[in-house]
Amino acid sequence: MCYWNESDGKHKLFAYNVRCFSNGTYSPGQFDGLTFYRYDNATKKMTECDPPGFEQVFGTDDGAHVTYALPRTGKDIIYTEWHPNGKKKQKTLKWNGRKFSF
pLDDT, one tens digit per residue, over 52-72 is 999 988 889 999 988 899 999
pLDDT at 3 > cutoff 80: yes
User: Which residues partner with 39 through β-bridges?
Assistant: 12, 46
How many structural domains compose the chain? 1
- Please report, for residues 9, 22, 81, 87, the alpha-carbon distance to residue 37 in angstroms, rounded to integers and kept in the order given: 16, 28, 24, 32
Stated pTM of the model: 0.85
Per-residue pLDDT of 16-54, as tens digits, reads 998 787 787 777 778 888 999 999 999 999 999 999 999
Domain encompassing residue 26: 2-101
Under a CB-based contact definition with an 8 Å cutoff, are residues 16 and 34 in contact?
Answer: yes
